[in-house]
Amino acid sequence: MKLIISSLSGQPIYRQIEDQIRSAILTGDLKAGEGLPSLRHLSQELRVSVLTVTRAYTELAQEGLVENIQGKGTFVADSGDQVMRRHLEDRVQSLLGEAVDTARRAGMEPDRIRGLLDGLLGDKGSAPASEEGKE
């Protein structure tokens, strides 16, 4: 896992760490049960205080995205966990919202958008997106 920290972003360093780890978890780059770097290792790698990394990990643990296991480290929470599921559903809703906004700007009708989604889901009752509108 490679984190990039910017002192020019105006965002606190702990928040940058937190956001990048959260993003890696929600996109699947970090898998359930996978260990995060130790506090000391990550703080040395990023050249920041151990307290800064601790704060980021604590925030993620409070959200339920990671688990701190005493004496072992910090691990990505199980993806079946309700909190993780809620985060993933929120991400899906956000991405679908962006897709719908883009489709509307392109002048697509709701039925066409639904047809594309059905095609992506593999719905047998819908023609593949490339075949729709050719009749």
Q: What is the DSSP string of 97-122?
A: HHHHHHHHHTT--HHHHHHHHHHHHT
**76-88: pLDDT as tens digits:** 988 656 676 787 7
| 40 CB-near residues (< 8 Å, 6+ apart) | 50
Per-residue pLDDT of 47-83, as tens digits, reads 999 999 999 999 999 888 899 999 999 999 886 566 7
What's the predicted TM-score (pTM) here?
0.65
How long is the chain? 135
